[in-house]
Structures are given as C-alpha cells and as structure tokens.
Amino acid sequence: MMIRIFVTGGTFDKEYNELNGELFFKDTHLPEMLRLGRSRVDVDIKTLMMIDSLQMTDDDREMIAQNCIETPSDKIVITHGTDTMVETAKKLAGRIPNKTIVLTGAMIPYKFGSSDGLFNLGSALAFVQALPTGVYVAMNGRWFNWDNVWKNRETGRFEELR
Amino acid sequence: MMIRIFVTGGTFDKEYNELNGELFFKDTHLPEMLRLGRSRVDVDIKTLMMIDSLQMTDDDREMIAQNCIETPSDKIVITHGTDTMVETAKKLAGRIPNKTIVLTGAMIPYKFGSSDGLFNLGSALAFVQALPTGVYVAMNGRWFNWDNVWKNRETGRFEELR
Amino acid sequence: MMIRIFVTGGTFDKEYNELNGELFFKDTHLPEMLRLGRSRVDVDIKTLMMIDSLQMTDDDREMIAQNCIETPSDKIVITHGTDTMVETAKKLAGRIPNKTIVLTGAMIPYKFGSSDGLFNLGSALAFVQALPTGVYVAMNGRWFNWDNVWKNRETGRFEELR
Amino acid sequence: MMIRIFVTGGTFDKEYNELNGELFFKDTHLPEMLRLGRSRVDVDIKTLMMIDSLQMTDDDREMIAQNCIETPSDKIVITHGTDTMVETAKKLAGRIPNKTIVLTGAMIPYKFGSSDGLFNLGSALAFVQALPTGVYVAMNGRWFNWDNVWKNRETGRFEELR
C-alpha cells in the first residue's frame, strides 16, 4: 500500500535567507523529516510546486486535482500552506472518489527547530492509512472533513464549522 | 471525545545528566511535545511510572492494564520503552474490550533534538482516533496489530511477523 | 570584573510570528543563551532597543554611545544587527577611552535552531575579557578593529578592509 | 595565523546509540560546529583520540604534549572531556613555551541540541587568539590559568582555586 505525497510548499518548507533576512523556498524537507521520524511507510514524494498558499491560483489547484486523479495510489497526503488549505480541500472534494486524501501543513517552518511540522506529518500519515475515503484536513493533532473546517486566523488553529 | 494518555517512561522521556553523564528520568515531556505540535486534541495525561521498559515487571503491566480498564475513556495512548512494548501490548490484548489502545515510544530521547518522538506521538494520536477497537503498536509511521509485530533489534525497526 | 551587555536587537533576537508569517522582536534571548552556555561570567544585561539595524538612526547610536560612557563597567558587549554594526562601531570609536567594547550579532535568529548566535556570543564575551581597550567587531569567530572591517553582503561574512 | 585544533573526545563529541541506548564516539562534530558558527578562522583540525577523559592515560597525555610541541602553529585549542581537563592542562604547562594553548569541552553532547559546546568553542577560539602565551582552560565563558582552576563536580562548574 504505497502512499503518494504531493508537496506544494507552505510554511512547512520555508527557509530563512541569511543574506537578506527573508523567507524563501528551496527544496522540500519531507525526506529529511521522514528519516528523522524513522518512517518505514512506503511513500512516493512528488513536488508539484513550492509556493506560499496565499499565492495559489485556480490553475494550481486544478493541477493538484489532476495529480490526485492520475496517481494509481488511493492514499494521498498533500503538504500545503495553512492559509488556503481548506480552499484546496474544497476544490478536491467530490472529484476524486475512492481515495483518501489528507492535507496537512505547519505553523512554523520545519527548519526553525520549534516546528509543529513533524507532529503534523506523523498524524497526516496515520490518518491517511486509517480513515475511510474522503478529503480531510489534518492539523492540531485532529482530522476534519473538508466541509467542516476553517482556519481561525486569530488563534492560528483549525476548528470545526459546526 | 477525550483521549487518555498513560506515560510509562521509555527512551521518549529520558534526559542526560550532565553531572555524571548518565541517562535518567525526571518528568514526562508529553505536555511540552503537545504544545510544540500545537495539539488541540482533548487529552488527559497520567504518569503511571517512569522506567526503562527492560525493567518493567508483570506487576507493572498488571497496573497498566487496570488503568486501561478503569479509565472512562475508550481511546488510550500509552508511551512506552520500545524494548518490551510488544510484550505489554500482548498483556493488554483481550482484556480491555471496546477500547482502542495504541502504544508508542521513541528510539531517541525527545530532549536530544533529533528525536522521532514528536512524529510518533502525532501518529499515535491520529491512529487512536481513527482505528477501530483493539490493541496496536504505532512506530515508524505505521500501525501494527498487537499479535503481528516485533521489534527487530538489529535495525531498531518494528516489523510484521508475517 | 562585571561585563555590561547592551542589547539593541538585530537578527540575533528575531522571532517568527506564526500568525502572519513575519519576523518580529519580543524579548531578548540573551539570558536563555547564557544559561545554555552555562556561562558563569558576571554580566549585567540592559536592553537599549529592539530594532533591525537597518532602522537604526543617528539618535539611536548617540544613545548607545551615552550608555557606553555612563556605565561604570570598562568591558562592554553590544548585540547588534549585522547590517550596520560597523557604522555603530565607528560612531563609538574615539569617544569612549579606556574601555573594551565588542559588537556582535548573528546571521540566523537564535530561535531558528541553526543559529551562529551562541558561537558569536561565546567569542564576544571571550574577546571583551582578553582584548585591550578599543572598539571591535566580533563575527565569524574573529575580531576586527572598528576601522578595519566591513560586511560583505554577497557572502554574509565580515572581512578586513586591507 | 593558523590555529591548530586537537580533538581528544569528551562529552563534546558523544552520540546516542539508538540501538542499545548507550553513548559512544563516532566522528568529531568540530567541522559541523564551525560551519554552524559561520567561522572564518583559519583552523587545522586533527583528531588525536576519541575517548572519555576518565579513560585518558599518561601515555595519551604525553602524546597530546608531543603534538603540541611538534605543530608549527603557536595557537592551539584542545577539545577534551571536562573530568580530567585540568590534569591534562597541568601536564602541558611549562613544556610548550611560546605557545597559547586553550583546553575546552562541554557538559552536554553537541548532538543533544541543548549543548554548551558551541558557546564554549566560540570562546575557546577567541581566547586562543587574544590571550598571551600560556596554558588555559576555557569553560563557562571564562578563562582560567592551568594552575588556578578545578572542576566542581557538585555543580559541574569550573572555578578558581584561590
């Protein structure tokens, strides 16, 4: 049972450029994180884009959906910026039947030491193995159905709508 | 849905004593790890013991089983040393019906920076929420039924028996 | 022999705001860093400002100079953003005789895990104890006279002028 | 002005063996630490031994002394276990005229994240550049003459004798 991981960027993978003091993207840290977690899950990682999710366009989301449809795997984890993670989940819902899709991300870049990323990755990989087909967001140690979640920007937490 | 976390010690919670160069137990790091993971899961943590799992006796395991039986929660995570985690899982199996119990641990102490602990904690909390009733081991990003897992001490990995 | 430490901000003390993804200043991390280094140096820390050194004005530099003049200590460490550290060193030179003043900073925020800050702080505290009176920059493990140093912004390194 | 660094092991370079839970030596972390500190000091690192300083014999100390004598560099840093660092300093004193020799170490292994090692390395490299010829111990942000220092094993701190 191979799990497909699609990388789209987000805070997860941001790094600090010490020459100009800005945050930027270079490569994904997923393989390094899986090594650190001593993961023995059978995964196949593909980087679709490396962007801040506030910059994600409809075309980008369409591309993500196409990749979810075309992959032979029926278990998919998508790493994604938290700001528009719910929007992408909505775009995928209903279009990819018979697959379990889990979106996750991080509030703090993995490279900054105090990141929630490793915790979230562990939970997303577990949820994608154990939840029935559907589109979910995995954040704060919890899972949410795509149609019952929002990011509270005051607190930085994901919450149920009802 | 409250999740009960029982702490028993293990590598997870070991610390380095800089005065004598030995590893020892002080307090559990679970609350700190949950904060780092920005966890919003409703948990209740109880420390049952703080020991190396090679030192765990039958009486200790009986005490763990009693606590699993008596807690009103039907979702339980047990942090445990990896060396005898499977033995404890066996001891619990069949005795606590209608509950989901997930044992997890770490190969590297959380305080040592490069630990797999945060990843394992994220996955254990996810598995306990999503798996049906039963007794499981969650390590290496995977879940194992209590009767189909062993720790390969050559590689440090948990593997299926068959 | 008490050492006066003046904090002015800089990359050293920047933190990541997980709600908006921006870097900001809260409190100085100097006390935490000294604890981590098991420092037993007799120091007295005073925060003069918490700013990016690109924002530092002439008035700010005048205020730093006044504090250097007025402190009874003849050994002073100033933590400072790297971009205008040399400018501030020049402003101090010649005005504070009979004192050893060492400016230092970091290329990576201390809180980001992979920081050079702890190394630089160790070297700055050592240089201020061992160098004769004068105004110096301590970066990259080296010391530079105030009138023989520049920051190479291409490489992020401090170099001699001649 | 090239600085010679002799590595002898000590807590500095200890690692955690996740298969048996014991501490051990593999390679020195000095190059990694110098990279992290963005050090631009001209150094030449040579590993003389990788041992716990409680295991260090008279022959080992003689070998260290010979290396200090034979190196063309007149500035030497020795990384060393803290338990017998003072003993080695005494062995070197008086035998290597016209050189500045600084011994340093760490209370916590560098790989454990919360180490004082990076701070100590920064201060040792600074002291060796700025102090006159002699044999010194650099710990806790301070320098000590070889004949006026002891390690207080109750507190883990280095203190003056008088």
The pLDDT value recorded for residue D16 is 94
Contact B122 A123 (CB under 8 A): yes
A84 catalytic? Reply is no
The pLDDT value recorded for residue A94 is 85
Per-residue confidence band for A51, with pLDDT thresholds at 50, 70 and 90 = very high
The pLDDT value recorded for residue A33 is 96
Is D107 an 8 Å CB contact of chain B?
Answer: yes
The pLDDT value recorded for residue A101 is 98
pLDDT in tens, B58-82: 999 999 999 999 999 999 999 999 9
Residue A65 backbone dihedrals phi, psi, to 5 degrees: -60, -45
- Chain A hits for C114, CB-CB cut-off 8 Å, are 111, 113
- Round the average pLDDT of chain D to a whole number and report it: 96
Q: What is the mean pLDDT of residues D73-86?
A: 98
Per-residue confidence band for C94, with pLDDT thresholds at 50, 70 and 90 = confident
Q: What is the mean pLDDT of residues A43-57?
A: 97
pLDDT top residue among A143 and B94? A143
Q: Nearest C-alpha of chain A: how many angstroms from C48?
A: 22
pLDDT higher than 80, residue C1: no
pLDDT higher than 80, residue A106: yes
Per-residue confidence band for B15, with pLDDT thresholds at 50, 70 and 90 = very high
Q: How far apart are CA B85 and CA A158, in angstroms?
A: 33
Is A116:A139 a contact under the CB 8 Å cutoff? no
Rg over CA atoms, chain B = 15
pLDDT higher than 80, residue D18: yes
The pLDDT value recorded for residue A113 is 81
pLDDT in tens, B22-61: 999 999 999 999 999 999 999 999 999 999 999 999 999 9
pLDDT in tens, C59-77: 999 999 999 999 999 999 9
- DSSP codes of every residue in C51-74: E-GGG--HHHHHHHHHHHHH-S-S
- Round the average pLDDT of chain B to a whole number and report it: 96
ipTM above 0.90, yes or no: yes
Q: Which residue in this structure is represented by tokens 């798996």?
A: B131
Per-residue confidence band for C107, with pLDDT thresholds at 50, 70 and 90 = very high
Contact D156 B18 (CB under 8 A): yes
Burial (CB < 10 A; 0-12, 13-18, 19+), residue B19, is exposed
Residue B86 backbone dihedrals phi, psi, to 5 degrees: -65, -40
Helix ranges (DSSP H) in B11-95: 30-36, 58-70, 85-92
Is B138:A126 a contact under the CB 8 Å cutoff? yes
Q: How many CB atoms lie within 10 A of CB C91?
A: 19
For residue B90, what are the CA distances in angstroms to A149, B83, B101, B130, B147? 38, 13, 12, 21, 7
For residue C18, what are the CA distances in angstroms to A59, A107, B32, C25? 27, 5, 18, 13
Is C72 an 8 Å CB contact of chain A?
Answer: no
Residue A35 backbone dihedrals phi, psi, to 5 degrees: -65, -45
Q: Nearest C-alpha of chain B: how many angstroms from D71?
A: 32
In chain D the first and final C-alpha atoms are separated, in Å, by 34
Rounded to 5 degrees, what angle do the CA atoms C65, C71, C75 make?
90
pLDDT in tens, D104-147: 999 999 999 889 999 999 999 999 999 999 999 999 999 999 99
What single letter denotes the amino acid at residue A44?
Answer: D
pLDDT higher than 80, residue C104: yes
Percent of chain C with pLDDT over 70: 100
Q: Of the given ranges (A86-90, B11-15, B136-140), which has the lowest mean pLDDT?
A: B11-15
Per-residue confidence band for B114, with pLDDT thresholds at 50, 70 and 90 = confident
Residue C11 backbone dihedrals phi, psi, to 5 degrees: -55, -40
Residue D99 backbone dihedrals phi, psi, to 5 degrees: -130, 150
